């Protein structure tokens, strides 16, 4: 065996031999699985509806606009519509199917109505896309399979999802250096927040006000626990409870998707998603601020935040709890067992890197950039080996690293009248969040480049034979 063969064999062992659907979506479809009569508008509509329904699930799950567009075009081309113009703008999908000379194009539009995050649904659609790409499914079986996926209930009950969110808060509290007692308080508080917001959501309350309520509920218990501790001469760091609640409430926001869209060439969608993230974060901050004022008026004032770097847990505990928090987030998002395993590994790697770099004194922005890039790369490769959509592992891996501490510190300084320090900390929070999203996007791009199949040059310029 030559050196080149050995290198190739080692590369296959490390990277695996199964690319993700994102790796192959932009490649040309050489032979359609099922040619369609372009003069038959009904047949064209059936193909486009299938492609748009796939795109709806992808966009609903946080997939970037460019990747969603490529998958829609891929499905349409596979079933005989190679000449489709696809545009995804924020929550709207537009498809124009050009049917050839003498025939007017057929135009379609779909508005995506966001539902609760369900990563099992995303995994099942990913599997369906693999089957479509291999030519294993005709149009009608593919439509029936997708309808079944979309109509299915969540794989776990709401109690399991509630446990996932609560477990994530407890793990983050421990990662921040909190005691087991504070972790239990965070668990109970987050469970109460989730249950309350589910009830408010059923009443139709806009998500912004649910974030306000979540921020309020995350702060009040911490204030009264601190008051009780002072009365009994005990030492407690209440900010850990509040910060864990902030991180959990920020976890479901599409920051990664917004930055990915900005980087990959969808600025309008990126702007819409980013404004949405900022508005929901403002609601969360507002809820925390209201709670701080109210508890202060009731005699349960919280102490001001220290300016120096606050201690995290020891590195081994950070690694363990970071992985646990990522797996808990994946569980709360209804991910499959194999996705939970890869999410744990991704979160452990990210938390370990952040802890190591912070201990070296390089600061949170550098730590976030390095950790997120490695999470995007390693998580992307792990996801491909486990046949899991990479976005699940990437988002779960960086979720425990969301800058909840900087957000709370900035808000605390606003309440104390330290405007300049508050602006500095809030700006740091924005920078860390964007760095996390950009780093994981870069890492995933490297993983995708390494795993993308290589076609002969004579095929690269051809869309469909």
94 SS3 class: strand
CA distance 339 to 344: 9
Backbone angles phi and psi of 89, in degrees to 5: -125, 110
Distance CA 394, CA 367 (A): 16
- Supply the range of the domain harboring residue 219: 158-450
In a domain, 459, yes or no: no
Per-residue confidence of the chain (465 residues) as pLDDT tens digits? 676 666 556 555 655 555 556 555 555 554 555 667 777 888 888 999 999 999 999 988 888 888 899 999 999 988 888 888 999 988 899 999 888 787 888 889 988 877 668 899 999 999 898 888 887 788 889 999 999 999 888 888 889 999 999 999 999 999 998 889 999 999 999 999 999 999 999 899 999 999 999 999 999 999 999 888 888 888 788 888 999 999 998 887 777 778 888 888 888 888 988 898 889 989 998 999 899 889 988 888 887 766 555 678 899 999 999 999 999 999 999 999 989 999 999 999 999 999 999 888 888 889 989 999 999 888 778 877 778 888 888 888 888 888 888 888 888 888 777 888 888 888 888 888 889 888 988 888 888 877 665 544 444 444 333
Same domain, 169 and 315: yes
Same domain, 278 and 406: yes
- Residue 322, domain member (yes or no): yes
Exposure of 200 by Cβ count < 10 A (0-12 exposed, 13-18 middle, 19+ buried)? middle
- CA gap 265, 436 in Å, rounded: 18
- Given a contact cutoff of 8 angstroms between Cβ atoms, the answer to whether 287 and 407 are in contact is no
Q: Helices in 333-452 by DSSP H: which ranges?
A: 337-359, 364-385, 390-398, 404-415, 419-451
Same domain, 144 and 206: no
Q: Say whether 368 sits in a helix, a strand or coil.
A: helix
Whether residue 167 sits in one domain with residue 132: no
Q: Is residue 462 part of a domain?
A: no
Same domain assignment for residues 103 and 124: yes
DSSP 8-state class, residue 240: H
Q: Is residue 2 part of a domain?
A: no
Q: Which of 115, 132, 153 is the last residue of a domain?
A: 153
Same domain, 204 and 345: yes
Q: Are 95 and 108 in contact (CB under 8 A)?
A: yes
Task: Among 153, 184, 212, give the residue marking a domain's end.
Answer: 153
| Residues 306 and 438 grouped into a single domain | yes
Q: Tell me: do 241 and 316 sit in the same domain.
A: yes
Domain count, the chain: 2
Residue 15 DSSP symbol: H
**Domain stops at, among 131, 153, 175:** 153
- Domain contains 224: yes
Return d(Cα 114, Cα 71) in angstroms, integer: 19
Distance between alpha carbon 318 and the CA centroid of its chain, in Å?
Answer: 21
> Is 456 a member of any domain?
no
Angle separating helix axes 390-398 and 419-451, nearest 10 degrees: 150
Do 138 and 174 reside in the same domain of the chain? no
464 belongs to a structural domain: no
Distance in angstroms (rounded) separating the CA atoms of residues 194 and 161 = 9
Q: Report if residue 83 sits inside a domain.
A: yes
Burial of 198 (0-12, 13-18, 19+ CB in 10 A): middle
Map residue 89 onto helix, strand or coil: strand
Radius of gyration of the chain (CA): 24
My answer on whether 268 and 332 are in the same domain is yes
- Could you tell me if 81 and 97 lie in one domain? yes
**104 and 174 part of one domain:** no
């Amino acid at each position: 065996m030559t050196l080149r063969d050995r290198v190739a064999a080692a590369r296959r062992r490390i990277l695996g031999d199964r690319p993700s659907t994102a790796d192959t979506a932009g490649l040309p479809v050489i032979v359609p699985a099922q040619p369609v009569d372009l003069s038959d508008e009904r047949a064209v509509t059936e193909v486009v509806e299938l492609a748009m329904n796939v795109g709806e699930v992808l966009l609903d799950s946080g997939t970037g606009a460019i990747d969603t567009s490529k998958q829609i075009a891929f499905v349409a081309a596979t079933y005989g519509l190679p000449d489709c113009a696809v545009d995804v703008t924020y929550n709207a999908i537009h498809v124009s199917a050009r049917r050839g000379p003498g025939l007017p194009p057929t135009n379609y539009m779909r508005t995506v109505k966001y539902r609760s995050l369900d990563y099992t649904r995303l995994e099942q659609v990913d599997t369906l896309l693999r089957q479509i790409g291999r030519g294993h499914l005709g149009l009608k079986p593919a439509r029936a399979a997708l309808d079944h996926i979309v109509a299915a209930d969540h794989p776990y009950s709401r109690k399991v999802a509630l446990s996932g969110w609560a477990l994530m808060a407890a793990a983050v509290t421990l990662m921040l250096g909190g005691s087991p007692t504070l972790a239990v308080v965070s668990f109970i508080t987050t469970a109460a927040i989730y249950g309350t917001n589910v009830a408010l959501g059923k009443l139709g309350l806009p998500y912004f006000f649910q974030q306000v309520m979540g921020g309020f509920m995350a702060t009040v218990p911490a204030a009264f626990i601190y008051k009780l501790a002072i009365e009994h001469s005990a030492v407690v760091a209440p900010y850990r409870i509040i910060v864990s609640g902030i991180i959990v409430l920020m976890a479901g926001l599409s920051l990664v998707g917004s930055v990915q869209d900005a980087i990959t060439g969808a600025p309008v969608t990126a702007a819409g998603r980013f404004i949405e993230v900022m508005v929901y974060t403002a609601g969360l901050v507002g809820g925390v601020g209201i709670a701080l004022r109210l508890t202060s008026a009731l005699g349960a004032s919280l102490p001001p935040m220290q300016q120096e770097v606050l201690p995290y847990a020891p590195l081994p505990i950070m690694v363990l709890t970071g992985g646990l928090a990522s797996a808990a987030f994946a569980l709360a998002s209804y991910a499959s067992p194999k996705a939970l395993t890869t999410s744990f590994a991704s979160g452990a790697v990210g938390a370990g890197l952040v802890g190591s770099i912070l201990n070296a004194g390089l600061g949170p922005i550098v730590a976030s950039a390095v950790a997120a890039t490695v999470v995007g790369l390693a998580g992307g490769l792990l996801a491909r080996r486990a046949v899991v959509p990479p976005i699940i592992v990437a988002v779960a891996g960086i979720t425990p690293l969301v800058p909840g501490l900087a957000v709370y510190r900035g808000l605390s300084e606003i309440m104390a009248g330290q405007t300049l320090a508050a602006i500095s900390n809030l700006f740091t929070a924005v920078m860390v969040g964007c760095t996390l999203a950009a780093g994981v996007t870069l890492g995933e791009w490297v993983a995708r480049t390494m795993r993308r199949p290589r076609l002969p040059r004579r095929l690269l310029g051809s869309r469909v034979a």
